[in-house]
A and B are shown apart, each in its own frame.
Chain A
Amino acid sequence: MTLHGSSRRTLLLGLGGGALASVLATPALAQRAWEPTRPVQFIVPAGTGGGADQMARVIQGIVAKHGLMKQPMVVVNKAGGAGAEGFLEAKGARGNPHMVVITLSNLFTTPLATGVPFTWQDLTPVAMLALDEFILWVNAESPWKTVADFTVAARTERLKLGGTGSKQEDQIIGVALAKAMGGNLTYVPFRGGGEVSVQLVGKHIDATVNNPIEAVTHWRSGALRPLCVFDSQRLAGTEKMTETAAWSDIPTARESGLDVEYLMLRGIFMAPGVKPEQVAFYEGLMARVRETPEWRELMQQGAFNTTSMTGEAFRAWLTKEESRHRTLMQEAGFLA
């Protein structure tokens, strides 16, 4: 069994010439200034099976399937210290163009909560791929049909809210939610979104604020019920996901009388000190990834907010988000 690099590469190219890939890849194959010369490490600062990990693996699959890049992409999970491990690695790889990082909110929350020295400015922003939504889920067998029911319950008893990690997005939303309802929520941290969903299905906790993709399969099987989405507008998907409801049928938190809004960044970053043409290559790569049918399917299945940005607009957004997280975390008492 000796499968050398060359033969594999030929195979990849051969695939790239395949029917699907040629349609997508040809227009963009026009002269490119820079291309990776080695396998590209795709760092996921979170564990396997979570939202960021799933997205990274879909991108890896799309890139390989459509032959968007001659070099292979290798997904590496570096979840240690709430993602600090992955971010520090990228920060330390100054000038290395063969490394990209997918980020989630821990880009902002981890340095604020732990004091580990890094910020988004230590990395090179490439592109915002999408924004991930948050939904308030309860068990379908619970008596709470609306946010109002849930609020009443939270005011009279202490409800248990499960979420991923500690002092990260889920807990921040939990604190904001409890404040807006004037009720009590005990936050119970777990390791990943999938685990949290299962705990809710098994009624060990009362509610979660999972991302749509982490809970969609349990919603469709009739085990979970969505109460509201923490966005300024309703979700886009109008296709029926269950027998009766589509993503767009879920009311927003504001419609339900709660002033809580939170969206999570799914973006791509590179190590600091990389050259502009290298950044441009990955910008182009991600733009082509977003045009594939597989990506659209992921966006639809996970009800993502498909806003995307690059360059200055992205930087401005990051600056604003960072200060918003600082405020949110200060209010919650999560600063290190």
Chain B
Amino acid sequence: MIRPSAGPSNRAVEIGTALAFTAAGGAALWDSLRLGIGWGTDGPQSGTFPFWIGLALVAASTGTLVQAARTRGELGIFASWPQLRLVASVLVPNILYVAAIPFAGIYVASAVMVAWFMRRLGGFGWARSVLAGIATAVATFVIFEIWFLVALPKGPLETALGY
């Protein structure tokens, strides 16, 4: 058993985030220079605004980075491991769900995710979970596909059913 107070330190996450911000700002600077940051034939060039924004972003992130790097240990932890495990229990199925949508279609994927959540996180019985999953898929199908005429991503099952 891991101590409940253990976990990734806030300092590390702070530094990582600040670096990511700096990178975003850097990408903006690079692209702005390609577009031009002066005064063109039709007013300020496209890159002018993103350039200054990017510059401000890089400056501010560097400041945060320095602040975080200077602090030693007093920042505590970002989240404890058990907490992160709980987060993962929602996040990982959700990632798989999003990854499955292009192949299985949104209805089948939704049914599976709802059933999984109810079974694993809610402790419902298999029968009820699966039924609820199917009900969700059918309800969304009726509302969106039939009623509101919105075409959502569909997979092999829907094709087989003629949609």
Chain A residues in contact with chain B, CB under 8 A?
2-5, 38-39, 41, 72, 74, 166, 187
Quick one: which of A2, A4, A39, A187 contacts B149, CB cutoff 8 A? Answer: A39
**A3 and B147: CB pair below 8 A?**
yes
15 A–B pairs (Cβ distance < 8 Å), ordered by A:
A2-B142, A3-B147, A4-B142, A4-B146, A4-B147, A5-B146, A5-B147, A38-B151, A38-B163, A39-B151, A41-B151, A72-B149, A74-B149, A166-B42, A187-B42
A171 to chain B, nearest CB (A): 9
Q: Which residue from chain A places its CB closest to the CB of B162 in the assembled complex?
A: A37
A73 to chain B, nearest CB (A): 9
CB neighbours of B149 from chain A (8 A):
39, 72, 74
CB neighbours of B163 from chain A (8 A):
38
Give the A-B contact count at a CB cut-off of 8 A: 17
14 additional A-B residue pairs with CB within 8 Å, beyond A4-B142, A4-B146, A39-B149: A2-B142, A2-B147, A3-B147, A4-B147, A5-B146, A5-B147, A38-B151, A38-B163, A39-B151, A41-B151, A72-B149, A74-B149, A166-B42, A187-B42
Cα distance, A266 to B152, chains bound together (Å): 29
Dominant SS at the A interface? Answer: loop
Dominant SS at the B interface? Answer: loop
Cα distance, A41 to B149, chains bound together (Å): 9
Cα distance, A39 to B42, chains bound together (Å): 43
Cα distance, A58 to B19, chains bound together (Å): 52
CB neighbours of A41 from chain B (8 A):
151
| A-B CB proximity, top 9 nearest | A39-B149, A5-B146, A74-B149, A72-B149, A3-B147, A4-B146, A187-B42, A41-B151, A39-B151
CB neighbours of A2 from chain B (8 A):
142, 147
Interface string of B134-156 (1 = CB under 8 A from A): 00000000100011010100000
Q: Which residue from chain B places its CB closest to the CB of A4 in the assembled complex?
A: B146
A76 to chain B, nearest CB (A): 9
Cα distance, A166 to B46, chains bound together (Å): 12
CB neighbours of A74 from chain B (8 A):
149
CB neighbours of A3 from chain B (8 A):
147
Cα distance, A102 to B151, chains bound together (Å): 19
CB neighbours of A187 from chain B (8 A):
42
Cα distance, A38 to B162, chains bound together (Å): 10
Cα distance, A41 to B150, chains bound together (Å): 9
